[in-house]
Amino acid sequence: MKPLLFAFLMISALTVAQSTSEKDLLGSWTLQVDLEEQIEEATEDLNFFERILARSASGLATAVWESVEITFDFKADQVLVLTVVVDLDEKETEIEELMWTLSKDGKLFIEDIQNDKVQINNKGYWRLIYGQWIAYDADDTAESHVRLVRKE
């Protein structure tokens, strides 16, 4: 019975991974980051006073983050237009054109950003789970608090 169950699970996993295609990706997506969850996870091993300090600072970080909108606009020919809008004292918009690739097993890779203002190295990848692109680190650990949600 166990070999049959294992075979079924493997076939199901392969079917899910192979079912992701370019049409599932094309269009506009908004980056959502659950800062509170991330800070809570990051402060679990701190002592009481360190945790209070870190979590009080998280309120400021959350307030700033609410003024930021990051849009990923995936286009054909593996072009990604990344738009960052920051609306603090005055509204600022930065647009960056990147490249993306979608592997045969459904992993989305986005090239690194290297310019005068921003440098981000994308060591991980994204995977489509229940209609949202979930970030994964290089060790294949899901970063469930970081996701792309299709823009309406």
Tokens of 109: 């890779």
The pLDDT of residue 128: 95
Mean pLDDT by 10 residues, the chain (152 residues): 42 49 92 78 72 70 81 95 88 91 93 66 87 92 91 84
The pLDDT of residue 109: 94
The pLDDT of residue 110: 92
Match 């994204």 to its residue by tokens.
Answer: 126
> Structure pTM?
0.74
Return the CATH class of domain 21-34+68-150: mainly beta
- Within 8 A by CB and 6+ apart from 128, the residues are 20, 24, 25, 106, 108, 134
The pLDDT of residue 5: 39
